[in-house]
Each structure stands twice: as C-alpha cells, then as structure tokens.
Amino acid sequence: MRVIFVIAKNTFREAVRDKILYAIVGFAVLFILSSLFIAQLARGDIVPVKSFGLAGIYIFGLIAAIFLGSSIIYKEIERRTLYFILSKPVSRSQIIIGKFFGLLAAVALITITMTIVYECVVFYQSGSFDYVSIIAMIFQIMEEAIFIALLIFLSSIVAPLISTTCAIVIFFVGHITTSALAEAELVGGISYKFIAFVYYVFPNLDKFDLRSFAVHNIPVPRSLGIIAFGYALLYSCALLYCAHLLFKRREL
C-alpha cells in the first residue's frame, strides 16, 4: 500500500507540473466563464448557463484525462524510467495501481477546480449555488476513473496515438449503447445480439451522465449513485487487472 501511495504521489506531482495541462485548465476556465455571455443572450435564464458550463467541465475533464493517460505506461517503457522503479522492491501491479490513483487524483483536481469556477458563475448569475452539479461532478469523476483505467490498459499495449483513438471510439460507443440497445430490442435478431454484446463488454458511460439532472435541478435518486459507484469500481478493477496481465508479460 505504501509503495502504491509513493508511485501515485509521484505520478500526481509529475502530472500537475505539466505546462500543457495548465493550458487545458486555462481554456476550460475561459470556456466556463464565457457562459456569462450566454446568460446575457438567454435574458437571465440559468438553464443555458448550466448546460454550457457543465458541458465545458465534462469536455475539458475528458481532454485532460486523454492528454495525461494516453501515454502513461507507454512513455515509461519507451523512456526506460520504469527501469529505476522495477529494480527496486516494486511489483508491476503496484506500478499500474499507483499510476491509476495518481492520474485519477490529477484529473479529479482539474474537475473540482472547473466545478468551483462553474459554481462561482452560477452564483453570480442566480444568487445560489448549484448543488446537484456537485453530485454530477462526483459521477463525472467516477466516469473519469473508468476512462483512466481504460487509458492505462491501452497504453500498456499500444502507442499513444492508437491509444487515444481507441479511447475516443470506446468513449463514443460507451455513450450510445443504452439507446442503441433499446432500438435493437425492437429489431431483434443478430443485430440485437451484436448490440447486446457491445453493451455488456464496452463501458456503459451513460450511467454517469447526471448533467440533465443538474441543469433542471432534479434530485438524484440514491440508488443511481450506488449502481454507478459499484459499476465504476468493478469496471475499473477489471480494466486494471487486464492491464496488469498484459504489462506482466511485456518484455522490457
């Protein structure tokens, strides 16, 4: 546990010192602040402000995760920084888990920072904070956990460009499988079986989309949180376990 913490701390420190990350966060803050102009166009209606701001948090959180995660293991292998770690009393699984937590902490910090800016904008516009969006942010961090685990899995086998492409495709598929399955149920046959296969194998990221709840200020049922947390935990663990198996076999 101590070794995992040391690796996570180091990964986090490396990540938050990346200047490109500051640029991403800078753009994100500008994007969220620009929703103030949307508010003027919407003549005081807070819904477009919330939609715009939450979309910004989501997109830039995703960009940060891809930027930091797509090469995380690959880079360590290519640059041979792993040699330092593996010659010490550290197992490959500890590296995978440590990297995961370090990266998740960095991406979560970015998401929280963006949410704070968003809350300030909402407060400025409406005179009250958007508490449901804090729950939406927690759900987003759970989704980011799956996405980071996926990126770690991919970066332990393929180069960053391929890893990024695959992650974006999986992300896209992960958001449409629920509606695709509903449509396929009506059609039936082989199409349904194929969509059902994709539905169960690919991550179902729709579970974590609470933005519409936040925008319309709808209370979030507790059961949704429990299911989402359990799903994120199990799916991330499965991906990290597969990453570990691949990384263990990898020749250095």
Partner 1 sequence: MIAIKNVSKKYFRETVVSGISLAVRDGTVFGFLGQNGSGKTTTMKMIVGITAPSAGTIEIDGESTGDISIHEKIGYMPEAPYFYDRLTGIEFLRFSGELFRDVTQSDTQYENLLKKVGIYDARNKAIWTYSKGMKQRLGFAQALVNNPKYIFLDEPLDGLDPIGRREIKEIIKTLKAEGKTVFFNSHILYDTEELCDEIGIINEGRLLYHGSVKDFSKGRSLEENFISLVEKHTKI
Per CB under 8 A, residues contacting partner 1 are: 2-3, 6-7, 10, 13-14, 17-18, 79-91, 251-252
AA letter at 41: L
Least Å distance between CB 113 and partner 1? 19
Which of 198, 164, 171 minimizes the C-alpha distance to 183? 198
Q: How far is the CB of 12 from partner 1 (least distance, A)?
A: 11
- Based on CB atoms, which residue is closest to partner 1, 12 or 147? 12
Beta carbon nearer to partner 1, 32 or 110: 110
- Our CB check for partner 1 shows the closer of 70 and 94 to be 94
Q: How far is the CB of 6 from partner 1 (least distance, A)?
A: 4
Nearest of 135, 148, 111, 106 to residue 232 by alpha carbon:
148
Nearest residue to 192 (alpha-carbon basis) of 201, 182, 200: 182
Residue placing its CB nearer to partner 1 in the complex, 76 or 130: 76
Query: Minimum distance from CB of 166 to partner 1 (Å)?
Result: 25
Nearest approach, Cβ of residue 95 and partner 1 (Å): 10
Buried b (16+ CB within 10 A) or exposed e, 40-79: eebeeebeebbbbbbebbbebbbebbbbbbbbbbbebbee
**Residue 13 or 216 having the CB closest to partner 1:** 13
How distant is the alpha carbon of residue 142 from its chain centre?
7
Helix/strand number for the chain, H first, E second: 12, 0
